[in-house]
Structure 1
């Protein structure tokens, strides 16, 4: 039993010993592992470094990891491409960058000098692992040596050397002509440009061009750079350039030719014809054009072969007769109208239009058809509490009526109406109740009533006033007051 336990413990320890190791760690991007082994025992430590051309992102980051059991600890090292930074500035020049910032390993820059300065050194530099390769170029001011001399000529001014942009002017001796540019300039490559001229004697004969005349140019003799301009006679067309310049090899370009102008036959006229009919017509030759019945010529009836070799053909357009409709008229004096033309129509005074007032001549006549003109009328005015002194129920344009209000009503508006554009002018008046007509009788009645009542009161007052006091004697001889009856009574 003890032996069995010892064997099991040994096997278990062996198994644990086998498992307690780490496989080769993943190197990752832009990093190098300094160890070449594929397995590492428990507790092993390995170190990484950045690949060539790369540097740590964080300088304080750990570059090592440790095997614990079968797992590696986390690696802190991260690597990035090296940057060469910006090179020193070039005096009188600059660097052109072909990459975005920052300038990383492998980037390329090109040096370029300002105008008037020449690059000395290699223009292209590369960002290497140890920085920018090569030496920085320099920009030196451009200097030109003397320009080349020419036979039978010279140049001014004459110096031992010339700065960038300086010019020299060439001149020829005697009557010789300067062939080429007279001024050369010290260019940015240290040479004079363009190529120097030559001194030669140049003369050109007067060009002979049949059927042409000189209209502009230099008088003979014709020397170098003299020019003439020609024009062909009427009925002829220029073949070639009409502007000639005397050069060292003669006139340039070669003399032109003046060819007689011809026209091919005019294009066919739709709904018409032309005469005479030929395949070819000379300049100025004419043809006569005519249209078929029902069509009218738009353009000249006679056309000529023009100096551009073409006929200006007319057109035969369909016509429309003058629009006919009752009680209206056409706003034009023309007797007929050509195809696609338009005209405006109007109705006579007192008539209103039914249809369009704008007509266009088309293939089938006027579109839209001419309108109709109807007599303008006004209905009998309807006046509440009033009436029209006329028995008619329909009134024509410009007729008039008088309107009245019923008894006891007062008119607001004009009593005279005229029939205008389908309405009365001015509008019919209104008849309102006249309150004064009813108030006056009431007032009169009230006054009469007051007068009657007043008369009664007056009579009664007079009656009372005429009563008399008298002394009546009794048998004892005493006097007593008594009322005497009046002589008259008040009759209402």
Structure 2
């Protein structure tokens, strides 16, 4: 009976203790909510409940970057600590410089903004002129503004060869016409390649001054000619393609078909009493020449470099192709641009349980780089100690494992049971390696490793600790803020480095006098280096002012740089409306470009006659 009472009291005490334990058990946390423009890291997005003491981390949403503050929070008895990280919209910096053109920035240079290309007069855009600020920088590539080209000038009936002869002419080029013997020119002898790719004004005509049907012998009637046929790869010039009948004495011209160029011989033939003279012009396929040199790669030229041939880019081993690798020889040259072969890169190598630091320790490794593993004391390596960054961007072969060589449960004293360890906590700016973040309990003899938090790098000391009978040894790893080094040199400008060059610091670009900043001038030291790109300081210049019916009176020719001046005066019979002298200032000309109005005509009226 006495034994039964003792048993009952023991049971009651045990139940009371169990109730107390249940009543003071720490509370779990539900899924946390971050601040504006941030989301949970991928490791946690599929979880709804987190245990007491567990840490989670946030990352900035797509198009946003960290503006400072810790990205991790901790669950303490059902309550999350405050999120310190702030996110700001990403700035893409300068979209680059366009030769013979410029970008317009209606939306700025932040994430989601678009910039638009505008080519200078006489140049035409090749490809898309719109770039968008994306999460990884500007979309596409810096566009190209190519010179406007005109084809051969129009042929004229009974005209000689134009001077200078050519297959192509660039914007502004002038050609001069002549007439054959016994023909007189009607109209201007010279025309110019205009900005729309056509010659202006219309070409002259050649009028006969000798053929007089009334003076022909009695009964003579010269025969007309039908449309002539050329040789291989020849076609009639545009001036004659709609004409079916040509009079005695008329001359026509042939040109080479698209993709062909002249190999010599006169391109004109003449109709004489119903018969065409022989076509002397010969044409051959156009050669596109070299398609360019590919850094860390080469072209397959097996199809040759003539019109219609294709070449194929091939990158060297360890490099990967960016963009299209195929180009075609077209009538104007090679299609597309020279592609890029970028080095294959691998991220950090996998961590191994009970392993030491790999050597060398880097954030990124290029193709062929080798890292070497070590095991901690009392552990033996199983497998190869070294792995290398392979051409597919992953380390090969699989990393080794570290096997304990000291702990032998059979040799432990009778009744001894080593204690497990709970999740360890590191020092300032330290976090557990990814291999261990989901583990809450670690067995006796197990080792884990720490890494420095984002924006910090090792300042020395072992990054691994070991569990011995329920107790972790001391963390020796120390971390310091990452140094981003120089943000680069700005041509015609410099940086304000008053905040330093450590993680989180910002630098501000300032241009020299007479230059203006293109793109964002602010850069931040991030975990991977400086954000954005080195900005551009462009020399301040103003567009060439054009005054119709007027001439430049004082001041030099274009280009017009900062503080340069130009003065205009109107031609005879016109008077000036506006300011005659303009000065190039920071934001453009000091006044609107003037106009020259016919004497007696009010602004807004049209000149009669």
Q: State the TM-score bracket (shorter-chain normalisation).
A: 0.3 to 0.5
The TM-score normalised by the length of structure 1 is 0.34
Higher strand content, 1 or 2: 1
Instruction: Choose between structure 1 and 2 for higher RCO, CA contacts under 8 A separated by at least 6 residues.
Output: 2
Name which one, 1 or 2, has greater alpha-carbon Rg: 1
